[in-house]
Structure formats: structure tokens, C-alpha cells
């Protein structure tokens, strides 16, 4: 009951092509992203100095990252002073082992979970299952994904690709296998489905001994963790169990308590499009007589220091996982999240995954190209991550990683040929002549025309297929500018075209 995994996903172009063929998915996504875009735009418009607020939010996160080691040491000391136990994990395997060991130490065979990107990233549920521990997702969307043996497709709303009828079907089919079954008269109204989730999870909340969470922010000077949520499943997990284990990426640190101000104003408006989310919980270690009396914090690297070392890409670590960039992205809106092959889809995923993992595998290396570079993501980002610039830089990283290849890629050969032709005027003139000839052939025999009547090449065979598969290539002009200049003496003897 672990849900699926992204291991072995094909590269983005292949996965995207398949997603585009799914009309149900496309209609679910178009509806959902339009709704959330409109909500965000309305509440952002209410804030007169939104741009200044973004600058403040970006500044808070940037300042924390630039002196991260100091803040992490401060955070650790504050947490320990407040009664928490701090663990450090270099990678996913270490983090999962720490959580499993703590769960075993309390003799439990189940934990309840608050929605957390960090634990999704490290594959905690699968790791715990291998240790005989069931990890129950309690966020409604995460539960839909888990019950459906599915994969998350959005940072905020992991089941965004499912519509109400599909969700009803999953509840009817699967709830009974893992606890209280769905009522027989379950309809597909959202309010009825939410009530079924409430009834199903309540028994799990009431008996849970150990909970696992992430954190939206970790305040260094006070040792405070912050979880921002909507349903109250977070409060249940953070309050009722005896033991709380929070897995926190090292980039979640902010320096001081007052730094939470711009963040708590930026996040809800950017993510769910609300002035404030229904519930935000903050806690600093252990409070005697209130909530979990044993509190653990696992500080996770798992590629973050790799991203931090990238002078262009490190700004991606400012990300607060609001998912505004997904909702405005024309590529994400059409392909959905699964095509990105990661728990971090969309524009932020297209830079975060290569930064965290490197571009040595084909799937990750395909992600920086999963963008039209339109820049909508940068415009909505509450912490001003310049995603288009990082995308371009990561494309360069992908090209650089192939420089030593024994068999060069077609693009590298083309670039080399272009460099050779462009570096000598006679060679360039020859290339222009050849291209003019190609244009004449196309105009004579081509069947594709662009709006305005210009001839174009349709789908080309061979190495050109990748480029022309989704675009028309305009026919090159018969005569180049340089040739025209020579022939007409700079336009003085111009009597029309040849």
C-alpha cells in the first residue's frame, strides 16, 4: 500500500506525449489550474505592495541561505534547548533509517503523516513499508493518491489529475481494505467525499502513537517549526500522538521569528489563493502537558548542498513549495505533473531536480527543456526565483555534461558545423546559397504554408524530426541579405528580386 514510484519514468518528451493523449487528464487540469490561478490573482491584487512583499520574502530566504551553516547550528541549539532531539541525514537512505529506527523503538507498526514534500522526496512511505511499518497519509489529496496506488502530480494538490467521480470510485474500492470503509451511499459531491475521509481517518488519528511531518519553515533563533495546512489533519498529527518526527530540508531555515512575517503573508495567497490558510501550527520542541512529549527533528541534505554550490541555481532553494509556478505554466497545464517524473513537477521541478541530483541521467537531463521560457513562473514566484534563467543555465549544464561523449549528439554536430560556417565569410556565403536553394525547392514542392502564405517545411525526417515534430520550419529566403547587398550595391541598383 505504498503508492507508485517515479523510478524508471521515461524522459519528459516521451512522458508528455502520452499525457497529452489523455483527454480526461487535460480537462481535469485545465479546470483546476484555471480555478486556482483566478483565486490567486484576486487575493494578490488585494495587497497593494505585493512586489515589495516579494522582495522582503526573497530577502529573508536569501539571507538565511547565504549564512546557512551558522543558522543550522543556531537552529540545532535552539531545538535542543526546547527539548527536541536533532538528527542529521546526508541522503534519503539515512533519513528513512532514522525514522524507521525511531518508530521501531516505540514498537509501532503504523505512523500517521502530515503532507510533506521532503518525505515524499526521500520515499519514506516505501522505506517504512519495507520495515513493516504502515505510513498513513492524512492529507485528503495524498490519501487519494495513496489509496489509488497512484503518483502525486502537483505540489499542493497531489491528486489534481483526478476528478470527483474518479475519487469516489477510489474511496469505494479501497477504503475498506485499510480501515473504515466508505459508506454505501457515497456520492461524488466534494462535501460528501470530505466527510468520508473525516470518518475514515478519525480512528487512525485517535489511536496513533507516532506521527511524521515535514515543516514549511524552521526558525533558527527560537527552534520553532511551522506547518501550514487546511484540513486539520496536520493539527491532529502534530497534537495527538506521543511522538512527533519532523523531516526538514536544511533550506527551510529562516533566521528569526519575525522573518515569518513576509513568509506567512506570501505563502497562502500564492498557494491556495487565500488571505490565510485555515490552520497554521507552530511549536518549539516539547510543551509539558500539551502535545507530543517526544519530539525529533531530522535535518535533511539529500542534494541540497549540491544545489547550494551552484551560483546561478542556488536561488531555487528559496522555494517555499507554494506551486504558483505550476498553476501558471502553459507546459504543466497541458502535460500535468507525472510527465516530470518527480515529486517536484512543473517549472520549479524542472530546475530543482537537476540541481539536487545532477543531469547525468536522461530523465533528469530532459527537464530543463520542459519549458517555453515564457517567464510566467518568475512573475508569480513569491520569493522571486528567476526560474527561466536557471532553466537556461541548467540547459548549459546538460550540454556541458556531453562534451566528452564518444558519439556527439546531433545538436552538438550542428552547432559545430554552424561555428565552422559562421567563422569564415566565404563558407557563410556558400551556406547561404545552399539555404536559398533549399527555400526554392520548398516553395516549389512544399505542401505546408504558414499564415500569411509563406512556405514552410512540415515534419522533417532524420535528426530534424525532433524540432519539426511540433513546429513548422519557415522556408529560408532565396537570397540572403549579404547577397542582396552585393548584387544591388547596398540597395542603389535594386530593381526587385532576382
Partner 1 sequence: MSARDDILAAVRAALTDVSPAVAVPEAPRAPDRGDLVALFVERVEDYRAVVTRCNEADLAGVVAGVLGERSSVVPPALGLEIAGSVVDDGLSAAELDAIDAVVTRARVGIAETGTIVLDHQPDQGRRAISLVPDLHVCIVDATQVVADVPDAIALLDPARPLTWISGPSATSDIELDRVEGVHGPRTLHVVLVGP
Looking only at residues 81 through 140 of this chain, which bind partner 1 when binding is defined by CB under 8 A?
A: 82, 88-90, 94, 138-140
Residue with Cβ nearer partner 1 (76 or 472): 76
Restricting to residues 335-374, name those near partner 1 by CB under 8 A: none
Which of 250, 331, 348, 390 lies at the binding interface for partner 1 (CB under 8 A)?
250
Shortest Å, Cβ 452 to partner 1: 40
Residue with Cβ nearer partner 1 (29 or 475): 29
Which of 177, 184, 185, 290 lies at the binding interface for partner 1 (CB under 8 A)?
290
Which of 74, 282, 363, 366 lies at the binding interface for partner 1 (CB under 8 A)?
282
Q: Is 312 in the site for partner 1 (CB under 8 A)?
A: no
Distance CA 456, CA 473 (A): 5
Residue with Cβ nearer partner 1 (117 or 193): 193
Distance CA 21, CA 31 (A): 17
Shortest Å, Cβ 123 to partner 1: 18
Which of 2, 85, 293, 305 lies at the binding interface for partner 1 (CB under 8 A)?
305
Distance CA 246, CA 143 (A): 19
Shortest Å, Cβ 70 to partner 1: 7
Count CB neighbours of 160 within 10 A. Answer: 24
Shortest Å, Cβ 365 to partner 1: 22
Which of 7, 107, 206, 493 lies at the binding interface for partner 1 (CB under 8 A)?
206
Distance CA 202, CA 432 (A): 72
Restricting to residues 207-246, name those near partner 1 by CB under 8 A: 219, 222, 224, 230-233, 235-236, 238-240
Q: Find cell 520569493 and name the residue.
A: 383
Shortest Å, Cβ 69 to partner 1: 4
Residue with Cβ nearer partner 1 (206 or 470): 206
Question: Among 93, 99, 89, 121, which residue's Cα sits nearest to residue 301?
Answer: 89
Site string for partner 1, 37-66 (x = CB under 8 A): --x-------xxx--xx-xxx-xx-xx--x
Residue with Cβ nearer partner 1 (42 or 441): 42
Residue with Cβ nearer partner 1 (57 or 436): 57
Which triple of cell numbers denotes residue 83?
527539548
Which of 3, 28, 342, 395 lies at the binding interface for partner 1 (CB under 8 A)?
28
Restricting to residues 154-183, name those near partner 1 by CB under 8 A: 157, 159-160, 163-164, 167
Shortest Å, Cβ 414 to partner 1: 34
Which of 177, 184, 185, 311 lies at the binding interface for partner 1 (CB under 8 A)?
311
Residue with Cβ nearer partner 1 (175 or 299): 299
Residue with Cβ nearer partner 1 (270 or 272): 272
Which triple of cell numbers denotes residue 190?
466534494
Residue with Cβ nearer partner 1 (276 or 431): 276
What is the three-state SS of the chain? CCCCCCCCCCCHHHHHHHHHCCHHHHHHHHHHHHHHHHHHHHHHHCCCCHHHHHHHHHHHHHHHHHCHHHHHHHHHHHHHHCCCEEEEECCHHHHHHHHHHHHHHCCCCEEEECCCHHHHHCCHHHHHHHCCCEEEECCHHHHHHHHCCCCCCCCCCCCCCCCHHHHHHHHHHHHHHHCCCCCCCCCCCHHHHHHHHHHHHHHHHHHCCEEEECCCEEECCCCEEEEEECCCHHHHHHHCCCEEEEEEEHHHEECCHHHHHHHHHHHHHHHCCCCCCCEEEEECCCECCECCCEEEEEEECCCHHHHHCCCCHHHHHHCCCCCHHHHHCHHHHHHCCHHHCCCCCHHHHHHHHHHHHCCCCHHHHHHHHCCCCCCHHHHHCCCCCCHHHHHHHHHHHHHHHCCCCCCCCHHHHHHHHHHHHHCCHHHHHHHHHHHHHHHHHHHHHCCEECCCCCEEECCCCHHHHHHHCCCCEECCCCCCHHHHHHHHCCCCCCCCCC
Residue with Cβ nearer partner 1 (146 or 366): 146
Shortest Å, Cβ 205 to partner 1: 7
Restricting to residues 466-485, name those near partner 1 by CB under 8 A: none
Shortest Å, Cβ 55 to partner 1: 5
Residue with Cβ nearer partner 1 (33 or 363): 33
Question: Among 288, 335, 395, 472, which residue's Cα sits nearest to residue 18?
Answer: 335
Which of 13, 278, 446, 464 lies at the binding interface for partner 1 (CB under 8 A)?
278
Which of 35, 187, 372, 488 lies at the binding interface for partner 1 (CB under 8 A)?
35
Which of 113, 174, 314, 395 lies at the binding interface for partner 1 (CB under 8 A)?
314
Which of 77, 80, 169, 279 lies at the binding interface for partner 1 (CB under 8 A)?
279
Amino acid at each position: 500500500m505504498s503508492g507508485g514510484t517515479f523510478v524508471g519514468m521515461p524522459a519528459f518528451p516521451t512522458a508528455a506525449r502520452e499525457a497529452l493523449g489523455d483527454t480526461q487528464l487535460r480537462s481535469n487540469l485545465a479546470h483546476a489550474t484555471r480555478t486556482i490561478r483566478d483565486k490567486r490573482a484576486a487575493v494578490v491584487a488585494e495587497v497593494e505592495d505585493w512586489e515589495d512583499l516579494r522582495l522582503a520574502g526573497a530577502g529573508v530566504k536569501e539571507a538565511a541561505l547565504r549564512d546557512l551553516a551558522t543558522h543550522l547550528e543556531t537552529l540545532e541549539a535552539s531545538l535542543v534547548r526546547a527539548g527536541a532531539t536533532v538528527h542529521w541525514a546526508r541522503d534519503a537512505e539515512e533519513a528513512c533509517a532514522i525514522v524507521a529506527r525511531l518508530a521501531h523503538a516505540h514498537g509501532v507498526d503504523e505512523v500517521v503523516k502530515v503532507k510533506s514534500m521532503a518525505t515524499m522526496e526521500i520515499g519514506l512511505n516505501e522505506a517504512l513499508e519495507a520495515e513493516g511499518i504502515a505510513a498513513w497519509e492524512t492529507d485528503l489529496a495524498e490519501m487519494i493518491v495513496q489509496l489509488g496506488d497512484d503518483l502525486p502530480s502537483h505540489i499542493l494538490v497531489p491528486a489534481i489529475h483526478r476528478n470527483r467521480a474518479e475519487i469516489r470510485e477510489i474511496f469505494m474500492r479501497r477504503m475498506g481494505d485499510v480501515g473504515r470503509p466508505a459508506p454505501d451511499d457515497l456520492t461524488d459531491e466534494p462535501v460528501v467525499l470530505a466527510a468520508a475521509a473525516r470518518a475514515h481517518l478519525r480512528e487512525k488519528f485517535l489511536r496513533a502513537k507516532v506521527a511524521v511531518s515535514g515543516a514549511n519553515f524552521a526558525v533558527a533563533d527560537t527552534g520553532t517549526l511551522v506547518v501550514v495546512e487546511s484540513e486539520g489533519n496536520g493539527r491532529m498529527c502534530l497534537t495527538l500522538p506521543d511522538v512527533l518526527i519532523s523531516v526538514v530540508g536544511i533550506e527551510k531555515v529562516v533566521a528569526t521569528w519575525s522573518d515569518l512575517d513576509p513568509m506567512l503573508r506570501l505563502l497562502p495567497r500564492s498557494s491556495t489563493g487565500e488571505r490565510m490558510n485555515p490552520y497554521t501550527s507552530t511549536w518549539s520542541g516539547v510543551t509539558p502537558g500539551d502535545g507530543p512529549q517526544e519530539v525529533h527533528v531530522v535535518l535533511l541534505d539529500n542534494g541540497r548542498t549540491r544545489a547550494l554550490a551552484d551560483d546561478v541555481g542556488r536561488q531555487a532553494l528559496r522555494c517555499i513549495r507554494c506551486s504558483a509556478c505550476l498553476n501558471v505554466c502553459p507546459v504543466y497545464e497541458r502535460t500535468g505533473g507525472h510527465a516530470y517524473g518527480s515529486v517536484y513537477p512543473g517549472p520549479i521541478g524542472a530546475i530543482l531536480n537537476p540541481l539536487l541530483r545532477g543531469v547525468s541521467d536522461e530523465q533528469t537531463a530532459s527537464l530543463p527543456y520542459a519549458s517555453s521560457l515564457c517567464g510566467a513562473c518568475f512573475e508569480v514566484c513569491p520569493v522571486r526565483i528567476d526560474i527561466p534563467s536557471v532553466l537556461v543555465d541548467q540547459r548549459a549544464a546538460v550540454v556541458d555534461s556531453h562534451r566528452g561523449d564518444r558519439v556527439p549528439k546531433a545538436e552538438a554536430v550542428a552547432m559545430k558545423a554552424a561555428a565552422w560556417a559562421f567563422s569564415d565569410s566565404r563558407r557563410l556565403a556558400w551556406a547561404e546559397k545552399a539555404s536559398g536553394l533549399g527555400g526554392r525547392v520548398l516553395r516549389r514542392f512544399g505542401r505546408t504554408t504558414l499564415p500569411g502564405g509563406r512556405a514552410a517545411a512540415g515534419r522533417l525526417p532524420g535528426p530534424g524530426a525532433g524540432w519539426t515534430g511540433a513546429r513548422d520550419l519557415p522556408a529560408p529566403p532565396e537570397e540572403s541579405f549579404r547577397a542582396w547587398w552585393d548584387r544591388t550595391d547596398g540597395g542603389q541598383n535594386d530593381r526587385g528580386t532576382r
